[in-house]
Amino acid sequence: MSKIIEQPRYACALATQQSVLAIPRAIPILHSGPGCSNKIGAIRTYAGWQGEGYAGGGHIPCTNSTESDIVFGGIKKLRNTIDGALKVMDGDLFVVITGCTADIVGDDVPSVVYEYQEQGYPIINIETGGFKGNNYFGHNLLLKEMVQTFLKGKTPNKKKGLVNIFSVIPYQDPFWRGDLSEIKRLLASIGLEANILFGNESAGIKEWEALIDAEFTLVLNPWVGLETAKKLEKDFGVPYLHIPVLPVGAEATSDFLRTVGAFAEIDPAVVEAVIEKEEARFYSYFTDAADFFTETRNGLPYELYTIADSAYGIGASKFLIRELGFAPKRAFVIENVPQKYRKIVEQAFLEIDAEYADHIHFEEDGGAIEARIAGDENRPQKTLILGSQWENDIAQKLEAPITHLSMPIMESLIMNKTYLGYAGGLRLLEDIYSNILSNKDYTYRFRDKVAI
Residue 441 has a pLDDT of: 59
Q: What is the pLDDT of residue 445?
A: 55
The C-alpha atoms of residue 226 and residue 215 are separated, in whole angstroms, by 16
Per-residue pLDDT for 296 more than 80?
A: no
Task: Please say if the pLDDT value at position 279 is more than 60.
Answer: yes
Q: Is 134 helix (H, G, I), strand (E, B) or coil?
A: strand
What pLDDT sits at residue 65? 77
Record the pTM: 0.92
**Is it the case that residue 450 has pLDDT exceeding 60?**
no
Q: In the predicted model, is pLDDT for residue 447 greater than 60?
A: no
* Neighbour count for residue 13 (Cβ, 10 Å): 29
The confidence score (pLDDT) of residue 452 equals 41
* b (16+ CB within 10 A) / e for 275-307: beebbeebeeebeeeeeeeeebeebbbebbbbb
Per-residue pLDDT tens digits for 210-256: 999 999 999 999 999 999 999 999 999 999 999 999 999 999 999 99
Sequence-distant (6+) residues with CB within 8 A of 91 are 25, 26, 27, 55, 85
CATH topology match: 13-150 vs 162-276: yes
Indicate the DSSP class of residue 57: G
DSSP letter at 383 equals E
How far apart CA 363 and CA 371 sit, in angstroms, is: 12
Q: What is the pLDDT of residues 179-220, one digit of tens each?
A: 999 999 999 999 999 999 999 899 999 999 999 999 999 999
Query: CA neighbours within 13 Å on the CB side: how many for 388?
Result: 29
pLDDT tens by residue, 67-90 = 766 655 678 899 999 999 999 999
Instruction: Give the whole-angstrom CA distance, residue 269 versus residue 273.
Output: 6
Please report the pLDDT score of residue 71 as a whole number. 57
Tell me, what's the pLDDT at 140?
Answer: 95
Looking at residue 35, its pLDDT comes to: 82
What is the per-residue pLDDT for 251? 97
* Range in 146-155, 207-216, 334-343 with the lowest mean pLDDT: 146-155
3-state secondary structure 281-327: HHHHHHHHCHHHHHHCHHHCCCEEEEEECHHHHHHHHHHHHHHHCCE
Residue 1: its pLDDT value, please?
46
User: Among 192, 12, 193, 201, which Cα is nearest to 98's?
Assistant: 12
**pLDDT the model gives residue 451:** 46
* 128 close to 13: Cβ distance less than 8 angstroms: yes
Please tell me which residue, 119 or 446, carries the higher pLDDT value. Answer: 119
| HSE-CB for 165 with a 13 A CA cutoff | 29
Sign of CA dihedral 35, 36, 37, 43: positive
Q: Is the peptide bond between 408 and the residue preceding it cis, with omega within 30 degrees of 0?
A: yes
3-state secondary structure of 417: coil
Percent of the chain residues past pLDDT 70, beyond the cut:
95
pLDDT (average), residues 285-299: 81
pLDDT digits (tens, 9 = 90+) for 413-429: 999 999 999 999 999 99
Give the integer Cα–Cα distance in Å for 94 and 17: 11
Per-residue pLDDT at 55: 86
Average pLDDT of the segment spanning 332-352 = 96
CATH fold for the domain made of 293-445: Rossmann fold (3.40.50)
Mean pLDDT to the nearest integer, 348-358:
95
Residue 440 has pLDDT above 80, yes or no: no
What is the tens place of the pLDDT at every residue in 14-60?
999 999 999 999 999 999 888 888 888 788 888 899 888 888 888 89
Listed by start position, the domains of the chain span 13-150, 162-276, 293-445
In the beta sheet, which residues pair with residue 209?
none
CATH number of 162-276: 3.40.50.1980
Q: Which of 414, 408, 372 is nearest to 389 (CA)?
A: 408
Question: Residue ranges of the alpha helices (H) in 333-385?
Answer: 342-352, 366-375
CA dist 127 and 31 (Å) reads 10
Confidence of residue 449 (pLDDT cuts 50, 70, 90): very low
Instruction: Classify domain 13-150 by CATH architecture.
Output: 3-Layer(aba) Sandwich (3.40)
Q: 96 pLDDT exceeds 60?
A: yes
Q: Looking at the predicted structure, is the pLDDT value of residue 297 above 80? A: no
pLDDT of 45 reads 87
Under DSSP, the state recorded for 362 is: E
Closest CA to 384 of 406, 399, 397, 374: 399
Task: Compute the C-alpha angle 51/388/201, nearest 5°.
Answer: 35
